Amino acid sequence: MNWYKRAQQQYFPFYNPAVDQPIEQRNAYERLLQEDRATAIQDLTIEEFIEDHVKSEDDLFQYFKELGLPLDKIADFPDARPIYVFTGRDKIDYVVDEFLESPDIVEAHEWVNRIDDMYLINYVEETDANKEFWEEVGPGYTLYHGTTEEDLDSIRQNGIEPRNQTRGMSNRGTGSAVFLSSEPAKAQYYYNVVVEVNVGQMKADNYMPQVGGEEPIEESEMRSALAWKIGLKDYYSEGDTSDGLDPETVIFYNAIPPKYLRVLE
């Protein structure tokens, strides 16, 4: 084979020099291609084989069919490219990402964990935490706020006003807010006074300020949702529970008027 045809074969995978050969030689050449493929499947890693031999999605599925490993395509992401998931012979789940450029095959749990927080929304749609919260609030629903004796007079007069105070580095980006707990004991963990908030009455009066949860906890829930989406039923992310973070914490971004408050003795 001259250098020109060899270059064509190297850079243009659709070129098949067997076409230029006599008919009696073509079957031998095609058998050689099959033998080379079989050898590559045995000797190369999956990453190497995909990089050298897989040029399309059809190639990818055919390759995994030859390996005897079912391959699933996951494409229903809001704003991210598809990925391909398979279970290896070691019973571990893997993700094939960007196979047409530089094959990146990662354990599926690691793949979920390493997605940057700011890109999670590309894979999982954010839930409307505010809407979901107020839909669940009914008569008699209460939350609790921890405070100090020094702040009681101001709370009685002005209610609980948002402050730019967080419990540590992990939720430093929350901004001005009111942190409420689901139980009196949790509200009292850092403070000696607990104020009960009648959230049910707030809703009855149609006063429903914007609410949310701890940002690191919400990110953890999104990772869990992504893991479930790609078939990882055993994935668990408890999230960052440092700095007193609690999955049941509710953050109000507006003031809570005095009429909805009661100081617990």
- Is residue 135 packed enough to be buried (19+ CB in 10 Å), middle (13-18) or exposed (0-12)? exposed
Of 226, 230, 180, 224, the closest CA to residue 202 belongs to: 180
Report the pLDDT averaged over residues 43-56: 84
E-strand spans in the chain?
A: 71-74, 83-87, 93-97, 104-107, 142-147, 178-180, 193-198, 211-212, 250-252, 261-264
Q: What is the pLDDT of residues 135-170, one digit of tens each?
A: 999 999 999 999 999 999 999 999 999 987 655 444
What is the pairing mode between strands 104-107 and 93-97? antiparallel
Q: For 101-133, b where at least 16 C-beta lie within 10 A, e where not — what string?
A: eebebeebbebbeebeeeebeebbeeeebeeeb
Query: In the predicted model, is pLDDT for residue 261 greater than 80?
Result: yes
Most confident of 34-43, 125-134, 229-238, 252-261: 252-261
Of 160, 173, 162, the closest CA to residue 218 belongs to: 173
Q: What is the pLDDT of residues 63-74, one digit of tens each?
A: 999 888 999 999
User: In which band, very low, low, confident or very high, does the pLDDT at 206 lie, cut at 50, 70 and 90?
Assistant: very high
- Mean pLDDT of all residues belonging to the chain: 81
Report the pLDDT averaged over residues 19-31: 55
- What is the rounded distance in angstroms from the CA atom of residue 198 to the CA atom of residue 196? 7
pLDDT score recorded for residue 48: 85
User: In which band, very low, low, confident or very high, does the pLDDT at 11 lie, cut at 50, 70 and 90?
Assistant: very low
pLDDT score recorded for residue 1: 46
- What is the rounded distance in angstroms from the CA atom of residue 49 to the CA atom of residue 64? 11
| Reported pTM | 0.64
The domains found in the chain, sorted by start residue, are 3-122 (no CATH), 129-264 (3.20.170.30)
